[in-house]
Amino acid sequence: MSRSCLAVILAAGDSTRMKSSMSKVLHPIAGRPMISHVMAAVASTGVSDAALVVGRDAEGVAKAGAVDGISVQSFLQTERRGTGHAVLAAKDAIARGYDDILVAYGDVPLVTSQPFAAARKKLAEGADVVVIGFHTDKPAGYGRLLVEGGELIAIREEKDASDEERKITWCNSGLMAIDGRKALEFLEKISNNNAKGEYYLTDLVEIARAAGGRVVAVDAPETEVAGCNNRAELAVLEKLWQERRRHELMVSGVSMIAPETVFLSYDTQIGQDSLIEPNVVFGPGVTIESGVVIHAFSHIEGAHVHAGATVGPFARLRPGADLAPGSKVGNFCEVKNATIGEGAKVNHLTYIGDASVGAHSNIGAGTITCNYDGVNKHETRIGANAFVGSNSSLVAPVSIGDGAYVASGSVITEDVPAEALAFGRARQEVKPERAKVIRERALAFKAAKKQAK
């Protein structure tokens, strides 16, 4: 929109009901602080500036509230005297002069840009105040929106509502948009003449109407405007976020056998025709390209899996893992800060860390890259078409050349040239009848111990 806009985000709550030493708005949904979700939503409405009203953990909240493309300024609310008082903590920002003012809350992480865009559209059409409401079949406890002739005439709190008004199912979400040219005038008229002695933002409805202004309401889905007050509600919001994102991915062409068991992060990207089996967890920073299969019970974070690759079951990809097209990381394998080349296979019980594996190489079961010397990490480089036998230890820094073979059970401490065969183990010896002697001696020792008791 061509209209200038300031978003005022209220994020100064004390987290009392969360029973937490951390600000409520810093608690994560899908691996991202709640406040970050809200900021992303308002940023996508064309907001140019944002005012964060902060309290405890002010520095952390400000950091989590930073978003590319908009200027964010923090304002400290030292007292808690109601929502109207909280908005006025950002008075200096509001006074700069904007066409539109949006008011949002840092603990409403499922909100999208649509309700804000709808509210701004009403401001552009001449409304002075726009309240964002929601319909619910459980309205108890919420303020009801009273509408006549297409205008909002009041927000009636339940304790003050008549029996008929309590039947209304359109409720106040707390989110609001205000004509920026009149915002300070309206806000400064809010009084604390009520039982709690607090300044209520909802009073703007009557204040604007008394000044001859037009007040309207727009609708939002109930789930989008759900707030969070305690850990139980946090879990509900997480569930709702996951359901929404899973649905978006499946509609876009991703298959999930048991979607309710797949957990995504806020930035998880999965390409068309990929298959996600049950009980897969995605941490932040994951990109899955098209045609990938993620088998059951895998955990992926900070990784890039290219087209046609296969992961799992029971695999772990840690940050920096990069799987090329057609590669495979199989069961009980872990990859960290390593590239697995095109068509390469890391099939069983293997750790590949701080390494590169060339195209079409095969890493045998039980192989590990020994990348840590107790102080520093070191790199292992494995060329294309190499074969590393099972139960091998590659002590970094070390290189395995193209087409080289490493014999099973080897400990490799020196570079292996291309096309070479490397043994890093003691020569096998066979002692005839020695097993019988060892077994008889062990049995005699066991019998002696038993007799001694």
How far apart (Å, rounded) are the C-alpha atoms in residues 243 and 253?
16
* Separation CA 169–CA 163 (nearest Å): 13
Cβ partners under 8 Å of residue 224, min gap 6: 108, 110, 111, 112, 114, 115, 134
Distance from the Cα of residue 179 to its chain's centroid = 34
Both tokens assigned to 388: 């590393």
Please tell me what DSSP assigns to residue 125. T
What are the CA-CA distances from residue 29 to residues 105, 163, 285, 389, 443 (Å)? 15, 38, 15, 43, 59
As a whole number of angstroms, the longest Cα–Cα distance in the chain is 106
Nearest CA-CA partner of 88 in 146, 8, 163, 168? 8
Query: How do beta strands 28-29 and 5-11 pair?
Result: unpaired
CA-CA-CA-CA dihedral for 206, 208, 210, 212, to nearest 10: -140
User: How far is residue 278's CA from residue 75's CA, in Å, rounded to a whole number?
Assistant: 45
Angle of the 34-43 helix axis to the 113-124 helix axis, nearest 10: 40
Active site residue 295: no
DSSP 8-state code for residue 375: S
Identify the bridge partners of residue 32 per DSSP, sorted by sequence position: 29
Please state the length of the chain.
453
Token pair, residue 324, equals 């090329």
Structure tokens at 350: 């293997």
Helical segments of 160-258, H only: 163-166, 183-187, 204-210, 231-251
Cα distance between residue 170 and residue 143, in whole Å? 9
Question: Can you tell me the distance from the alpha carbon of 227 to that of 173, in angstroms, rounded to the nearest whole number?
Answer: 9
Which among 135, 348, 360, 378 is annotated as catalytic?
348
- Mind telling me the catalytic residues? 348
